[in-house]
Amino acid sequence: MFRNVSARRKGAAFVATAAAAVLLMTGCSASGSGSSGGSGSGSASDTLVAYTGQAGDYQINFNPYSPSTIGGPGEIFEPLFYYNQLQSGDPKPLLGTEFSWNEDGTVLSVTLRDGVKWSDGEDFTADDVAFSLNLLKENPAINAIGFDGEVAVVDPTHVTITFPAPAFVNGPSILGRTWIVPEHLWKDIDPATDVVAEPVGTGPFVLGEFKAQAFRYDANPTYWDGEPELKHVRYVALSGNQAGADALAAGSIDWQTGPVPDMANVEKNYPGYKAVTVHMNQVALFTCSNAELGCEGPQTDPAVRQALYYAMDRDQINSLAFQDTAAEVSPGFALPERDEAILSDSLPEKTAPMSADVDKATQILEAAGYAKGSDGIYAKDGVRLAMSVRVVTGWTDYITAVDLLAQQAKAVGIEITALQSSWNEWTEVRGLGEYQLLIDSVTQGPAADPYYMYNEFFSTANTGPVGQSVNPGFARFSDPEVDAALAALRTSNPTDVESRKPHYDLIQQKIAANLPYIPVLTGGTTSEYNAAKFSGWPTEEDLYAVPAVWSRPDSSQVFASLTPTGK
C-alpha cells in the first residue's frame, strides 16, 4: 500500500501536558459531543467505515501539528483553501474566500469567511488565523516551510502577511497546509509535543467516540457550509493489509487505500465496490544517512546506498509486491511525467533502471574499498555490509518488497534483514533517526511543483541530530548547496520555469549522487470504495481530491462530497 507520510506516517508518540489537558476539556467531548450518543455510530447506511492501514491500537492525538497525529487535518482543523495536488487551477475557498499577492511577492492579502463558528460555539476571526500562522514562527519543529512572515490583522475578516523576500512558493503551504486552530484553547499549548484529546475546529466533522480499536467522526451540525450528508465516519484498526482485504470482501469497511488480491478486477471480486489509482508518491528506502548527525551503520556510506540502488530489480518488485500498479521513478525525485520540463539532463539516468545491474553495484562497492568475505557479503574495516530495514507489521506489500530487496541485495553482497514492528514504534524510530533503513514514501507538497517535496525532505531546516525527533527530514540529509538552491527557488516566481531550472538541476544531481532516500518506484495509490453505499466519490474522470483514505486534507473533501444512497 502506498501511504502518505504527511498524513499518517509521522513521528513519535507524545504525552500531553496538564495545561493542555485542562484547556482542551472545554472543547468537544470524546465521549460523543455532537454525536448521536451511545457506543454506536449511527445507522449502517449513514456511517462510512474507513481503514487507513492502522495495524495496532490508536493512541489518541488529534493535534494536527504533531508527528503522531491520528486525524484532524481537514475534517476538524481546516486550512484557508484547498489545493488539489492532482489538478492545476485555483484552489477551493474554505476559511479563506479570496487572496492576492502584490507584484513582487512580498505581501499576501487574504479575505476570510464571515460567520464561521468553532465547534464549541466561539466565533472564528482573523485573530485565530494570525495566531495559527505565528505558531509556525514560534515553533521551529512544526515550521517545515520556514515561514517568516509578519501577520497583521486588518479587521475580523482580513489579514495581510508581509515577507522579507518574495514568497510566492510559500502560498500553497500557508494557504493550504496551515491548520487553523482556536487561539482561545491553544494559547498555552506546545503544538509540536502536546496531545490533543478533545479537538475543537471549524471543519465538517467533530470527534465523536474514541476507543483504542476505533474512533468516530460525527457531522458538524454548525459547519459553515452546511452539515454534511454523510453523518458518521468510523476509523477502524485491523491487523494489516490481509485483514483489510478480508474486511472489504465481507463488506465491513467502505473505503481503504491499499492492496487486495487481483486489484485489476475489484468490481468483479467485490460487488458494489470500485477502485481508482493515481501515481504520486515515491516509494523509497529511507536511510539514516548522515554520520555527522549521529547516524550509524554501513548505510551512511553513499557507495552502499548507490550499490543498493543498482541492486534493485524494480520490475520484479512492481509485479510481486505491488501487482504492477507502480511506475518508474527518478533518482532525482522529480515525477517523470508531471515534472518532465524540469527533469535534469545531468542525471546518470532520468529514471531508475527497472532491472538489477549486479556488475555496476559490485564495481561501486569495490571501488569504495569493500572486499567480499567468505560468506559472500562485502565488508570494510572489519564491518560487514549487514543492515536492517524497518517495516510495519501487517503492511504485506511493503513486507513483500523488503523480502525481495533482501534477495536482490544478497546478489551484490549486501545482507538485509527485515525488522517488523508496530506502527507506533516504526514512526518513533523514523522521527528520531534510530534506524538504518526503513521503507516509506516520499510525498508531494501542496501544489504540483517538486519544490515543496524537496524543501520538506531535503532541507537542512527540517532535520536534526539523531535522537531529536524531526519531521519530515527523516534521512538527516544536509547540503549547503541544496539549501542555497531551495532559497533561490523560494524567492522566485513559480511561473518563471527557465530561471528556476538550474536550481532544480543542482538539487536533482545532489540527490542522485547521495541517495539519502533510495528510490524504489513511484507508487500507484489504489483505493477501493463502496460505490453502492455512497455516491460522490472521486473517479479517474473527476479527481476533485486525492482519492486516498490517509491523504489529508483530501479525505475531508471526499467525506464532505459523499451522499449515502440508503443501501
Stretch 97-112: mean pLDDT, rounded?
96
Smallest CA-to-CA distance from 449 within 329, 521, 351, 342 is with 342
Residue 187: count other Cβ atoms within 10 Å of its Cβ.
Answer: 11
* pTM for the structure as a whole: 0.74
Stretch 182-211: mean pLDDT, rounded?
96
Cα maximum dimension of the chain: 75
CA 470, distance to chain mean position in Å, is 14
Helix (H) or strand (E) run with residue 564 in it: strand 563-564
85 falls in which pLDDT band (50, 70, 90)? confident
Q: Check pLDDT > 50 for residue 5.
A: no
Joined grid coordinates for residue 36: 448521536
CATH code of the domain made up of 280-356+384-396+423-523: 3.10.105.10
110 falls in which pLDDT band (50, 70, 90)? very high
7 falls in which pLDDT band (50, 70, 90)? very low
pLDDT recorded at residue 322: 94
382 falls in which pLDDT band (50, 70, 90)? very high
Helix axes 451-458, 480-490, angle to 10 degrees: 140
**Per-residue pLDDT tens digits for 205-224:** 999 999 999 999 999 999 99
Maximum mean pLDDT: which of 18-32, 134-148, 550-564: 550-564
Q: Check pLDDT > 80 for residue 476.
A: yes
Stretch 342-353: mean pLDDT, rounded?
95
Q: Which residue has the higher pLDDT, 121 or 24?
A: 121
pLDDT recorded at residue 491: 87
- List all residues 6 or more positions away from 223 whose beta carbon is below 8 Å from its beta carbon: 202, 203, 204
**Per-residue pLDDT tens digits for 424-453:** 899 999 999 999 999 999 998 888 889 999
107 falls in which pLDDT band (50, 70, 90)? very high
Q: Check pLDDT > 90 for residue 126.
A: yes
pLDDT recorded at residue 359: 98
**What are the residue ranges spanned by the domains of the chain?**
280-356+384-396+423-523
pLDDT recorded at residue 431: 96
Helix (H) or strand (E) run with residue 529 in it: strand 517-530
| Mean pLDDT for the chain overall | 90
511 falls in which pLDDT band (50, 70, 90)? very high
Q: Which residue has the higher pLDDT, 308 or 24?
A: 308
